[in-house]
Chains A and B, each alone.
Chain A
């Protein structure tokens, strides 16, 4: 799987093989016709500042060139920063990485709604979270799969490094559930108890 294991191939090779060079569309194909991370739509080729006819650019952010790699590097950076704090043990550091990553993901993908810029869609995306806006609501695109799998990978790593301790297990599992449930297609547009509706 392309984006997940950043330790294998060299970063330069990864980036070149990565986004934007392929013209095949994976959107809408449920099965793994996308063994590589590189099967992106043309938005991967959209550069900053060029004219485009994208109604809501928020929908294409997670498909853009280099963003998966940047995301992985950011998580790695978080982990390294936490590791450099002297009084945290390794299990604590991994649990903290997992929890902080999931918290940030929950806030940015499932809490913040709308767009920071004006869009010509007359406010269609005003009440939608970023996850719901991704690819205009199309499910099981490669970016959605990537962002669903990355907390799971972190969870597995955290479980291993905390030696399956009970307390850490509870915290990590709760955190993982909080970030996996909103990603289910059944939860698209659902607001429990009217929280975050407007």
Chain B
């Protein structure tokens, strides 16, 4: 179903098909998409630098805002260095093949997002998938690999091993068990690549992501990759980690070397968003409260089950019993979405490239909680969804 787009940013209130709705579909976790400070910073940068950079980072496309943003991100995440990409999808899809080549082994979660899958495909490495958030399964795979390594130590010496996980999974709304992963990392000598697109600016006391959430030393994670299109309300992505690791991407990251760099107005907006995040660290606790509230409110709906952690701002509503056919499931959920939209709650189905995904998740409605939604709006959303679900599914 195609909803005619409106020329207004997808902020708190949007107009869909002529109807005013509250936005529960855009990943605008901190509500910064319509923030006047960000807009002012972007406009000032627009007046100073123009719109585009007309070049990749290595060929006259580096502006002072890029260096500033990298510096700020590195300081915020308390790592040595950060590197900026101009497109969020391309960030992790360029980072993985920069380090993992043919003959290397990557252990990935089955629920990894599409960008990770494309990065793995581009890397030509051996992929070993483990069940979602199942550390026993991962340990089994790592043990098998260890036995193989002992059989052929020469080959093992030239093989690199990686574990790729997401902080907050987009397809399931769950958080990865990072402490166990770090233990496994040191035991089986693999490098961890953490994809924090949804958890950056959401989890942790100051919004630093899942490492702060679990209290893990950031030096234990070899590479953190995130996109700036969710919490930071900009475009693009970044990777951060030790200089030794990040510097490699300046020549080997395909998306960094061969794409035009981030427009400076978006970089300026991202810097302003970081300022806002650092000034009021209280919004993260507020967001967590709102997530817990709506999670509880949506628990009792008959026919729909909530998939995701209670503190996850992006979670899924799946059908409790599937009709057996994916298309019929999608139709039912789409009906729910349309009726909710008629009543002023904008939702969306989680969309996938069904033929391209490795492990296609079941069809679901993705609900996104933002800081800007008031408690009445959360209540209204919960009651609307439950009423619509009752009429559609029964």
Contact = CB atoms under 8 A, between A and B. Distances in A.
Interface of A: 118, 122-124, 126-127, 194, 197-198
Given A118-B251, A118-B252, A126 B154 contact: no
Interface residues of B, number: 15
B371 to A, nearest CB: 42
A197 B155 CA distance: 8
A150 B103 CA distance: 35
B102 A198 contact: no
Contacts of A124: 102
A198 B155 CA distance: 5
A25 to B, nearest CB: 28
A197 B154 contact: yes
A147 B154 CA distance: 30
B252 A123 contact: no
Contact of A126 (B97, B101, B152, B251): B101
Contacts of A197: 154-155
Interface string B71-105: 00000000000000000000000000100011110
Contacts, number: 27
A124 B97 CA distance: 13
Given A118-B251, A197-B155, A198-B154, 13 more contacts: A118-B252, A122-B101, A122-B102, A123-B101, A123-B102, A124-B102, A126-B101, A126-B102, A126-B158, A127-B103, A198-B152, A198-B155, A198-B158
Interface of B: 97, 101-104, 122-124, 152, 154-155, 157-158, 251-252
A193 to B, nearest CB: 12
Contact of B97 (A118, A122, A127): A122
B178 to A, nearest CB: 29
A127 B155 CA distance: 11
B251 to A, nearest CB: 7
Nearest to B104: A123
| Top 8 A-B residue pairs of the complex, sorted by shortest distance between their CB atoms | A123-B101, A123-B102, A198-B155, A122-B124, A198-B154, A122-B101, A198-B158, A122-B102
A194 B152 CA distance: 10
What does DSSP make chain A's interface, helix, strand, loop or mixed? loop
A194 B103 CA distance: 17
Contacts of B152: 198
A127 B154 CA distance: 12
19 contacts: A118-B251, A122-B97, A122-B101, A122-B102, A122-B123, A122-B124, A123-B101, A123-B102, A123-B103, A123-B104, A126-B101, A126-B102, A126-B103, A126-B158, A127-B103, A194-B154, A197-B154, A198-B155, A198-B157
A198 B104 CA distance: 12
Contacts of A123: 101-104, 124
A122 B120 CA distance: 11
A10 to B, nearest CB: 44
A127 B103 CA distance: 10
B49 to A, nearest CB: 27
A122, A127, A194: which has the most chain B beta carbons within 10 Å? A122
Contacts of A198: 152, 154-155, 157-158
Contacts of B252: 118
B138 to A, nearest CB: 24
A97 to B, nearest CB: 34
Nearest to A123: B101
A126, A194, A197, A198: which has the most chain B beta carbons within 10 Å? A198
A58 to B, nearest CB: 16
Nearest to B157: A198
Contacts of A118: 251-252
A118, A123, A126, A194: which has the most chain B beta carbons within 10 Å? A123
A72 B142 CA distance: 52
Nearest to A113: B158
A121 B157 CA distance: 21
Contacts of B155: 197-198
Nearest to B122: A122
Contacts of B103: 123, 126-127
Contacts of B154: 194, 197-198
Contacts of B122: 122
A114 to B, nearest CB: 10
A115 to B, nearest CB: 12
A127 to B, nearest CB: 7
B185 to A, nearest CB: 23
Contacts of A126: 101-103, 158
Nearest to B252: A118
A118 B97 CA distance: 13
A52 to B, nearest CB: 15
Contacts of A127: 103
Nearest to B254: A120
A135 to B, nearest CB: 20
Contacts of B157: 198
Nearest to A124: B102
Nearest to B155: A198
